[in-house]
Structure formats: C-alpha cells, structure tokens
Amino acid sequence: MGLSIRASFFRSVTLAASAALMMNTVPALSVAQAQIKAPVTMQQGPDSVADLAAGLLDAVVNISTSQNVKNDDQAPMPQVPEGSPFQDFFDEFFKGQGGEGGNRQRTVNSLGSGFVIDPSGIIVTNNHVIEGADDIEVNFANGSKLKAKLIGTDTKTDLAVLKVEPKRPLTAVPIGDSRQMRIGDWVMAIGNPFGLGGTVTVGIISARGRNINAGPYDNFIQTDAAINKGNSGGPLFNMKGEVIGINTAIISPTGGSIGIGFSVPTELAGNVISQLREFGETHRGWLGVRIQPVTADIAESLKMETPKGALIAGVIKGGPVDGGAIKTGDVILKFDGRDVVEMRDLPRVVAESPVGKAVDVVIIRDGKEMTVKVTLGRLEDGEDLAEAEAKTSPTQEGTDQAEPPAADLPASDIVLGMKLAVLDAESRKTYGISEDVEGVVIAEVQPQSAAAERRIASGDVIVEIGQEAMKTPEDVSARVEELKADGRRNALLMIANKTGELRFVTVRME
C-alpha cells in the first residue's frame, strides 16, 4: 500500500511538472536564464597595439647589403681535357667568378632592419648591419626600394646613419627619451627577423643599464620582446610610438629568441646620431685619464664609507688634465652633476659631454671631498695621442726572457712578501724600467704571499703607499708600519710597470 501511494505521488508530481512545462515552457526558461549572471568583462593583458603598429610600420625598413670578398680557396681551377663537352660549363662557372684560383670573388649578402627619423630620407641602423658593404639597399613597406648612402658610423655604440633620396617625404618616427622608461613598461619591436619583413613583437622592459661587454659605453635596455636575426638596427618603441632603443643583440644558444634581447637606449644613441648627421663622425668628450674600479679594499684604504666612483690610475701626457686639476689617486664621484656610481659610468658621461665644455667634477683627494673644474678635449684626438704615446714608450724586448735573480741587486728585508731595491741606473737597465718612473723597485715576490695574490711581479715599481711617495725600501717599511699602527688591514699601493703605466692594488698586512 505504501509503495503504491509513493508511486502514485511520484507519478502525480511528474505529470504535474510535465503539464506545467508544456503549458508555460517559455516563462520557465526565462526564469532560469534570469538567474544566470552575464560574465564580467575582464581585461586580459595590454590593450591592442594594432592602431599603434599601423602608424609605425611604414617608417621601419629592411636593409639588404652586398659585399664582394675574395675567395680564400687557393686551389687551382679544375682542368678538363681539350674539346671536352663540359669545357663550356667549366669556363662559365669558374672564369665567370673572377679568374683562376684565389682571384675568384664571391658576393656575401646580409639582411637587417632600420627606421626613418627624418622624412627627407635619414635612416638609422646598426653598424654591424652595413659594415664592409659595397652596396646598401633600403626596402620599404610599400615594396619600393632605394639605394642608400652611408653618412657615418660609430663602432663604439654599433650605430650607423644612412641617407636615401626619396621622390616624396617618407614616414618618420620620433626619438623618445629612454630615461623615462621603467622596468615593466610595455615596448614594441618592429623589424625584419629572418628576412620576413614588417614583423611586430611586444614585450616589456626586463632590465636597464645592462653591460654585455659589447663596447666601452654599454648601457643596454633588456627586453623580452622577441628579437631575432634580422631585427638588428630596428626600433624599440614605447606605447606612445617613440623610439626608445635600437635593437642590437640577443643572448641565444639556438640562434632564435629566448626572450633576452638588448637595445641601445636613446639616451646614449641620440647624441651619437646627431653627431653622425652633422659631422659624419663622433665628437666625444675626453678627460685624458686611466681609471679602475673602487673595490671594497680600496675604499677602506681611502677612508671611504662605501666603494663607489672611479679611481684615477694615471693621467695621459698632453691630455686635458695633464698637470691640472685631477691627479693620480683621486676618486671621481660626480661629473657635471651626474653621479659616478661605478667605474664604467665615467667614460659614458664624459663621452656624452661636448668637446671644450668646462665642467665641475667632484672628487675625493687625501680623504677630503672637493670640487674641481676641467675642460674636456676630444676623444678621437685623445686616441691618436694615446697611440703615439704607446709607440714612443720603451720596448721591453728581451726583458721577459730570463729575468735576473734578486741576488743580483742589493735588496732589503721582505716587506709584504716582496724584496725591494733602490731604483737606480743599474736596476733600470736590469728590468728595462722607463726613465720617468720613480719609486722603489720590487726585486722578488715570494710565492703565495699577499703581494703575489695581487699579481705584483718582480720589475714592478712601488710609487706610493697610502698616497705617500716612496723613494727607498726603508720608506716602504716605515709606511707599512704606520698603516698597521693606524689599525689598517690593507695597504693601498700605487704600482708602475716597466713602461710607467700605473695601477692601484691593495695588499693585506695581516
């Protein structure tokens, strides 16, 4: 009985529900739909860059170059029997390439990218894209092609400026300020990867101020926007459509993008591009000094709270500060209002300064901070001067062979693992030391000593210790004892090599 009631009840409910659905199907579905909420629109990733890219594609160009190079193969041209049916083939293939053996030439082609910065036809690219090219052709997005003339190049920043002669003004892009960019900002690269042309990739700035040992002024922007072979010389844009970098290098074990690309920032490239346009070459500022890093040990020896700045290891004769405001042993902290945090900052800020400009330089000398004024020379002239100085330096012919033992010279007791001797005519002749080097000659360095750890060698000359000039071995011993009594753990030595080139080293006194 119970089972029948439950079965009847279930059937009644089922029938009732079915009837309700049959009579009022639409309202029932409407109620169900009303209970389902519409999905909330969520923004995923950045906004579309389609509009931005559309306005920039015409300003980005493909650059193709060709270079005729001699064939290194010195093998003679194959010979065939006179009257052979293959004679014509061999003559056409081999003699058509420039003649016999090593006189044959072949053409090497390469592809890269560039971008227009002036509607009159000024184009920027990488130096390595066009280096050594006999013919440069610029291919535009609309399919047109123009021959390009090289205006100027700069190997130190790997930049080049080209000029084409268009019949009508070209689409150009503005140069932006890379200093305004932050890590995490969106950027867009356009270029010619693997010869595909007009390829757009998007990413972010991964890091700034990267040093990849590509040149003396490394200050690269690192990005994860895909950059591949053929992207070299192409622009890196911010989201305003301004060029903030020139794509130059990648790190890749495979040859393809792994998300680590590097661009020359416009804060460095802008001045170089302007100079190449105006002069066809660079006019960089030059201070005329040799520098080295300020290590923790050197900072402690100079009574600096933190290691920073650039230590002056030498002043180039005839340079802008020769006998002037800056001296060997000074530490430069600021140059023309810009901080010199580490050694590599100084060459860059000096190079970016105009030739002939008088600038304020903040230095530490004898433990005191002071400001001096210097007037910059031109780096390109300075390189010629340094090269001429190197040529006039005394040669070291024969001095690297069988150096005489320390017993051949009167030597002092051992100081910091070094046997010392007076620098006189005999010792100069023995070690080939230049006449303009003054100090105390090192006759011998004990193996595994504190001096040996710093790669000090016999024939080196101690010029200063703790910023005091050394004349005799007794001066060295006395100065080391003074520093120990003062609680110093390291002695700061100014060391000259045989030709007079200086460097600073710290030697443990414990």
Given the structure tokens 């060698």, which residue do they identify?
457
Whether 248 and 227 have beta carbons less than 8 Å apart is answered as no
- d(CA 350, CA 282) in angstroms, rounded, equals 13
Catalytic choice (110, 113, 154, 158): 158
Burial class (CB in 10 A: 0-12, 13-18, 19+), 142: exposed
Catalytic choice (110, 128, 218, 224): 128
Whether 172 and 59 have beta carbons less than 8 Å apart is answered as yes
158 is catalytic: yes
Closest CA to 442 of 110, 430, 24, 245: 430
* Sign of the four-CA dihedral 311, 315, 316, 318: positive
Determine which helix (DSSP H) or strand (DSSP E) holds 132, and give its type and residue range: none
Whether 332 and 362 have beta carbons less than 8 Å apart is answered as yes
232 is catalytic: yes
SS3 369: strand
**DSSP per-residue string spanning 300-352:** HHTT-SS--SEEEEEE-TTSTTTTSS--TT-EEEEETTEE--STTHHHHHHHT
Catalytic choice (113, 232, 263, 301): 232
460 is catalytic: no
- What secondary structure letter does DSSP report for 96? G
Q: Which residues are catalytic?
A: 128, 158, 232
